[in-house]
Structure formats: structure tokens, C-alpha cells
Amino acid sequence: MIYPYIPHTDEDRKRMLASIGADSLEELFSHIGEDLLLSDSVPISHGKTEDEVQRLINSIAQRNVKGIPFLGCGCYDHIIPSTVKALSSLPSFVTAYTPYQAELSQGLLQAMYEFQSMICEITGLDVANASLYDGANAASEAAALMIGAKRKASVVLVSRTLHPFTLQVLQTWAEGTDNSLRYLEEKDGVLDASMLESLLDEQCGGLIVQTPNRYGLLEDYTGFADLLHEKGMLFTICSDPLSLAIQKSPQEWGADIAVGDTQSLGLEMAFGGPSCGYMAVKQELLRRLPGRLVGASVDKQGRRGFTLTFQAREQHIKRERATSNVCSNQALAALMTSIHLSSLGWDGMVEAARQSYVKAHYLAYHLAQLPGMTLVWDKPFWCEFPLVFSDAKHMRKFLQELRNEGIWAGVRLAQLTRQAKDELVLLVAVTEKRSREELELYLAAARRVMK
Amino acid sequence: MREPLLIEKSKKGRKAYCFPPLDLPRGFDQALPSLPKELSRQTDARLPEVSELDVVRHFTNLSKMMHGVDNGMYPLGSCTMKYNPKISEHIACMEQFTQMHPLQDSSTIQGCLSVMYNLLEDLSSITGMSWGSLQPCAGAHGEYTGLKMIRAYFRKQGALQRNKVLIPSSAHGTNPASAAMNGFEVVTIQSNAEGLVDLDDLRSKLDDSVAALMLTNPNTLGLFETHITAIADMVHASGALLYYDGANLNAIMGMARPGDMGFDVLHLNLHKTFATPHGGGGPGSGPVMVNDLLRPFLPRPDIQLTDSAYVYQWEGEDSIGKVSLFWGNFLVMLKAYVYILRMGSEGLRAASAHAVLNANYLASQLKDYYPIPYGQRCMHEFVSSLQKLKNEYGVTAQDAAKALIDKGYHPPTMYFPTMVSEALMFEPTESESIETLDDFIQAMIEIFEQAKTDASILKNAPVTTVVGRLDEVKAVKEPKLRY
């Protein structure tokens, strides 16, 4: 069989083997030892042509059903300008490696510099890295940073209102190490601020909170930064970056570290990945930042250029003393966010955030009129809100009936937490992309089920 | 040709995108209270205000200042810069995948789950392991996950004293960094005169405080650890586990399997071995694969096939839990799955055979100019030393690498592994033809000749790029990290 991805002809093979001084391809593997060499190919299917593969994938793809998504919980269906796909697919971006050879990688380096700059602008903080895996992993990197920054710290205080999966990733991070998590409990859908001071002690490196939180509710951090800083601790806020177009920025709350996921800025839902974690910090934490960082410099002729910098923090230089093990990041996803933000501008970002806010409130307002479901907590929210059903039967029926109409009505919180107390909670997300027609479709179906 | 920052082109009032007007009933918007003042943002962010064409030209011009596999040969050692098939990109753009939400009801995403399940089955066959998890987003993330599982395994055994991870001096930097992140003490294992694991050194360091040995095989010198079975026996006899760094799997895919060599857990780099693009540094995908011993410790949720459907499996008290926000980099998995479907079992075997053929051919043609200190034959990559060139003509590995840029090639990996002085690490992959390799060899020989006759050309390279060598000291001393 001839493989389009392997260019060798019989004649090429002969010539190359002769140069090497080997009789056969097999001979090149002879030092592996007969007991380990496979005599036959591994038991997977035979190769297929492009056309055959496309047909097979088409039939697999048919088993995915597209609906009108009112789903959120860290992944949202926002409008994405067509520039994003078109420009992020340019092959010299897509097929390049990490820009270690700066002269040959100015394009991506500059785009990452612009990404870092825009993340700084949005969070209000001083320095941002060139991306991390996702929002949850950015939170565990923040936890590691906070513990590393304070002498003898081994505990990170985390809010119970973090995204359930972020909390689970943090739990995995702490498990089996000398580090541990301590919890700031929840009260009425937001963290219980009155408990904060009593939970801070010598071992505590800092606090991680999230707004909009796991229910979509916005939290109030008045006084937090002062309290933490007085005790030499750091303050991390996780946020959906699009929400920062209208809600108070991490810098305005006095945070030292801002983390989150840029999925809401130009990345498709893509079954949850790739998304793109971001991290921004205050200037004094620069040398503790994990991951790649791009800086501007000049060449001998004084021309401005961009290069990976402060690499003495990273694993390929510092090995076990690095600030993190992260190497590959989510560069192409960060590029998509850069293109998205460049296309929207600040006004566009505010518009998307504002329309999401208004449309989410429109749906929430009308759903709240129906029997059998309530918006339990009277708290400000942005584009996602918790709906609590009076009983499980109605909730199941509601989800099923709306699914039959092609509407994904919301995410069951218990699906994420697997806790009985969350059984009746449905999280409904509405973005600027949901049209009036789609909102009315949802409401009409809801009225039919919940009469 | 310099491209300004987009913010430098910004002009108040320009727009590259317009949202549809709000279409709710009149009055709702006006009646709706804004966010309370104490929760509202007070300051605007400075983002570019430009036209759509400005955005298009900006990023198109930036893409011209890049070199990818699609532009030319990219023999970057340990990175497996092989061709990334276009059909994989095409399929990863299909709406039926890109428009799926990760928390949709599982009955509506059977396609996605079947891709993940079948990919895990294929990867299990290819590696000789029992099962795995696709959640890790990159190789280092896979290492982190695998080591977490090793830690959980020993805690379950009550062997809390097993707190060391042994790592050869030639290993990738992520290995010790991942071990440290998991709270392990890192102990370096020396290499012997052949560039392989020093068995005596290993033996002397194996005791009941050791949790695991991490190995890359073939190692970063491109050499197969011929004593791997003996190493596995030694490690297991001491009660420790064996970890396989899959960065170099492209050398042995379909020819030999880590599972048969005695490895207990490994990670793969789908963005290397399975031809998904590197995207300028990510997103990758770093699945972990395990044998039966460690299977209970895999991250959750697992995916299972029941009589009627694919389902998430969240149960299992020994699981280390979640390591990613959702299920991992799904679109990358999809591209790797398409590659495996295209190549099939014989094709994957052929890929490795030709990757090794290309590396040995390149080595055979370069070794008289650029000596290869370790190994007679290599696997998929080899490491040359330019120490002699430096001693005689003052030309460094970096000079040679930068000169390659002017000749249209991406340089090999420089100064790694550190056991080779003035190292250049070449990995041509199976994708390159003999003609491309011959041209590259010619370019390397020209550089060798220039070192003797006109080293200043090499010292000043590159000159064909938009900028020359940048002042890296200045970048640190006067940090400029944002606009």
C-alpha cells in the first residue's frame, strides 16, 4: 500500500538503506530484541482512504444532535465573528511549534504579546502569561503560586461556590501532596463572607473565589483584599472574562491574581475543548508566574521584535525547581481569542456582555412567573441563573419536553456535583446569540409543561 | 517589513464587527435595572478599534512571519514535526462536533463519546496497555496525571514512604517538574558511556523509598534502551512502578509496545505521534494509558459502552478525580482519531519504520561533519555535537541553527540533551522525502564549510527574517510584556 503521508518509493528506500549500510527496514529495529518486536501489526483496523474516512465520520457525526443551547457552566454559545476561524486557520500558525526560534516566529510571538496585553487590560492586572490549559487548571496554578509565595504556607482557602469541576480539579491537585484545601462555605447562593476572617491562619497562602460563581451569581468582595493583604496572603478571582466587560474587574476588587477561561471570547463549544486558560498577576508576582511569557526587545539594528522571556521560571531550564511543569499551552486557542477581541473591540465586548445580561434577565423574569420553579436567591446575576424545581418529576418532564423540541433547557447542577442537595437545581444560560424567537420558543414550551 | 501592533492602528469609532440590535419587547431593556454600582466595572479596557480588513491584514501579515511544517522542513528533535493531514483539520471543523456542548444529555452526543471510546481502544492496542484517559491537555499534563495515579496507588498500599521519582539526566525538563508538582523528590540517574541508563547507578538508588522510574524510550539521544526488560524487572522487584514518557513513540509505533516492555503507566502526545498540529505551542493532547494495576486510579469520568449506548462512568472510589475542566481537548482527539483511521495498523508501522529510516539516513550523511557522540544507529532522532567546530572556528550550535533559518529550514533542537556539548538534535520524521533530506544535508555541509572560511556569516545569521537575533538580556532587564 502507498501512503500519501510517507513519500518513499522502493528506489528511495534502497538508496537510503545502502547509505546507512543496512539490508532492510527491519534491520534498523534489530537492537530492540526479538522478545519485544511485534511480528505483526497491532489489532486496529486497516487504513482507509480520505473518502472512506469522511463517510465513516459523517455517520458518527450524525449521532450528535444539535439543539438550541441554553447550557453554560463554563462553556457558552456566544457569537464568533467569521474572522476568527478564517485567520486562525492560516497554516503557518497552525503547523508551527512553540516559538523557541524567535526570528522565525515573530508572527505568533507578536499575537501572544497582544493576547497578554488584552488580558491585562480586561483584568486590570499588570502581567499575563501566554495561556494555560483551561480555567480549572489556571485555578490550580494560582493555588500553587499562592502557596509558593508565602513562607510555610500549605493551605489554600477556596470558596464552595467555585465551578464544581474547578473545585474537583483543585482537589486532585492537593491530593497526595503536602498542600490542602480549606473551604469557605456558601450561604444563599454566594460565599459566606462573614466566615472569612476566622478561616485565615499562618498556614493559609491565600483565597480563591469565583464570580459569576457556580450558580451564575455575582459575588461581593468588599473588604476581602485588605483583610488578606494585612495577613500577607494573596487574593485570586476566577472570572468569565466576558463578564468583566460589565462587572467589577479583579483589579478593582484588589485581587493579586486573575484566572479563568477565554472560551467565551472566540472559542467554539467543541464538546468542551480546546478552551484556553488565562492568568494575570500583579507586577511583583512576575517571577512566580507559570507558563510561557512573551516580551518585546530589539535586535542589533534596533528593530523591535518579540521573544519568549523570563524562561528561567520554566521546566526546560529549571527542571524540578520550575514554577510549573507546563510546556505545551493552548497557543492557537489564545490566538483565536486575540482575533476575537481585535474584531469586537471594547465596545463590542460590552455589547455582547450587556445583551447577554438583558436576555438572561428576560428569560428569568418570565420563567419566575411559572408555578413549580423559582429563582431562589434574590441575587444579581449576569448571563446564567439557577432555577429550582419543586420536585424531580416536574424537572425531568421539563427537560424531556424541551429536548423534544430541540431545546437544551439547562444543566442539572447534580450532573456536576453528584450531590443530592443539588438534584432540583437547573442552571440556565442565555447569551447574546439567543434570538428573541428562541427565547419565546423556550418560554412557550416551559408554559406548556409547567402549567 | 514590520507589522505594527493592532492597538497602534486603533482609531476611535472604527468597528470590525457589529452585533444584531437587541430584539426584546420595547421597554424591557429600559425597565431592567443595571448591575448595582458596587458590582459594576468603572474603567474601560483599551482594545483595538479597527475595521474588519485591518484585522484580516494584521493577522495575515503576522502569519507570513512564521514557519510551520506546511512551509518547510522542521527537524526539531523530540517534537515530531510531521505533516498534519488536511482531512483532520476539515473534520475538526464539522458543525456536528464544534457545536456540541460538553454537558449535553449523553443521548445527544453519542458521536463524540464513540470517537473518544474508540480512540482509547486503538491507543490501548498501540501501546499494549489496558485502558486510559483522554483528559490531560498536553504531555506534561499527562505526566502530572500519571504521577498522581502512582501516588494514589502507593497511598492505597500504605507505602507512604515511597516519595522519590528516579529520572535519567537525559530526560525532558517536564519529567522532574511534574514529579516536583506532585510533591516527589527527584533523584537523577546517570547515563553510561553508551548514553543509556547506567544500570549500576539505577540499582544503587532503588529501594523502598522509590515510587517510580520515568523513562523515555527511545531516549532523547534517539537510542533504544536495550536493557529495558532488565530495567523493568529491577524496578518491579524493588516494589516501584515504571513510567513511560511517550514523547518518542513515533520511533516504535506498531513495532514494539511499552506495555510489553513492562511499563505500568504512560502518556502519549497526540500532537507529536498522531499528527495533530502543534498550533504554535498548543493545544495538544496528552492521554494517559495504564495497565490493570493502575486502572482503578484513572481520572473520572470514564467512558463505557453498555448494550445500548456510550455512557459516562463516575463511580470508583480510587479515581484521582478530574484533571481538566471538561473532558480534555476533544477536537485534538478527533484529529488523532482521523489520522489513525487513515493510516491503519500497517500504516502506523510504516510511519515509524520510515521515521527511523529518515533519521538514520540523515545521520549517515551528516556524521562526518557533525559528529554523533552516542550510538552507532539511531531510532527516530539523533544528537550531533558541534564542540569541535566551536573549538576550531568559534562557531556554536546556535550559530549553525540560525544559519539554517537563512537557508529556509527550521533549526533542530539546540543544547539538549545537556550530556552532549553544543548539541543539535535532529528529528526529520517520516514525512520528508529523500530529495528534501538531500537538500537539507547540502545546507548543513555548506554551513560546515562556511565555518572554516567565513564564520561571520554564521555569527550574523539570520538576515532573511524580519528581525535578527534579539537582545534577550534586555528583554529581562527592561521587561516589556504588554502594550
pLDDT value of position B2: 83
Question: B88-342: what CATH class?
Answer: alpha beta
Cell numbers at residue B301, please? Answer: 469520568
Residue spans in chain A of domains classed CATH 3.40.640.10: 82-340
pLDDT value of position B1: 65
**How many residue pairs from chains A and B have C-beta atoms closer than 8 A?**
667
Substitution target in A119, A328, A437 with the highest count of B β-carbons within 10 Å is: A328
Cell numbers at residue A106, please? Answer: 515573530
Spell out the residues 6+ positions from residue B331 whose beta carbon is closer than 8 angstroms to its own.
A270, A271, A273, A274, B92, B97, B98
CA distance A205 to chain B (A): 17
pLDDT value of position A39: 85
CA distance B25 to chain A (A): 9
CA A400 vs CA A145, A390, A443, B169, B345: distances in Å: 44, 16, 15, 58, 42
Alpha carbons A9 and B474: distance in angstroms, whole number: 50
pLDDT value of position B157: 96
Average pLDDT over residues B300-326: 96
The torsion angle over the Cα atoms of residues B464, B465, B466 and B471, rounded to 10 degrees, is: -110
Dump pLDDT digits (tens) for B255-269: 999 999 999 999 999
Average pLDDT over residues B350-358: 97
Band (pLDDT 50/70/90 cuts) for residue A105 is very high
Average pLDDT over residues A103-117: 98
Average of per-residue pLDDT values in chain A: 96
Spell out the residues 6+ positions from residue A426 whose beta carbon is closer than 8 angstroms to its own.
A373, A386, A387, A388, A389, A395, A398, A399, A409, A410, A411, A412, A413
CA distance A202 to chain B (A): 21
- With 0-12 CB in 10 A as exposed, 13-18 as middle and 19+ as buried, what is A208? buried
Judge whether B196 and B225 are in contact, CB under 8 Å. yes
- Does position A2 have pLDDT exceeding 80, yes or no? no
- Does position A180 have pLDDT exceeding 90, yes or no? yes
- Does position B118 have pLDDT exceeding 80, yes or no? yes
- Does position A3 have pLDDT exceeding 90, yes or no? no
Dump pLDDT digits (tens) for B416-454: 999 999 999 999 999 999 999 999 999 999 999 999 999
Band (pLDDT 50/70/90 cuts) for residue B375 is confident
A398 touches chain B (CB under 8 A): no
On chain A, the residues whose CB falls within 8 A of the CB of B432 are 7
Residue spans in chain A of domains classed CATH 3.90.1150.10: 68-76+346-449
Residue B141, phi then psi, degrees to nearest 5: -70, -35
Interface touch A403/B140, C-beta < 8 Å: no
Dump pLDDT digits (tens) for A34-67: 999 998 878 899 999 999 999 999 999 999 999 9
pLDDT value of position A53: 97
pLDDT value of position A1: 58
Band (pLDDT 50/70/90 cuts) for residue A451 is confident
Substitution target in A19, A24, A27, A104 with the highest count of B β-carbons within 10 Å is: A104
The closest CB to that of B97, out of A261, A271, A304, belongs to A271
A96 touches chain B (CB under 8 A): yes
Substitution target in A42, A347, A407 with the highest count of B β-carbons within 10 Å is: A42
Nearest residue of chain A to residue B343 (CA atoms)? A47
A18 touches chain B (CB under 8 A): no
On chain A, the residues whose CB falls within 8 A of the CB of B66 are 92-93, 96, 104-108
According to CATH, what is the number of the domain A68-76+346-449?
Answer: 3.90.1150.10
Average of per-residue pLDDT values in chain B: 97
Instruction: Classify domain A82-340 at the CATH topology level.
Output: Aspartate Aminotransferase; domain 2 (3.40.640)
Dump pLDDT digits (tens) for B181-214: 999 999 999 999 999 999 999 999 999 999 999 9
**Domain spans of chain B?**
6-37+46-64, 88-342
The closest CB to that of B481, out of A54, A127, A436, belongs to A127
- Does position B376 have pLDDT exceeding 90, yes or no? no
Dump pLDDT digits (tens) for B34-80: 999 999 999 999 999 999 999 999 999 999 999 999 999 999 999 99
On chain B, the residues whose CB falls within 8 A of the CB of A80 are none
Substitution target in B101, B217, B431, B439 with the highest count of A β-carbons within 10 Å is: B101
On chain A, the residues whose CB falls within 8 A of the CB of B322 are 136, 165, 168-169, 172
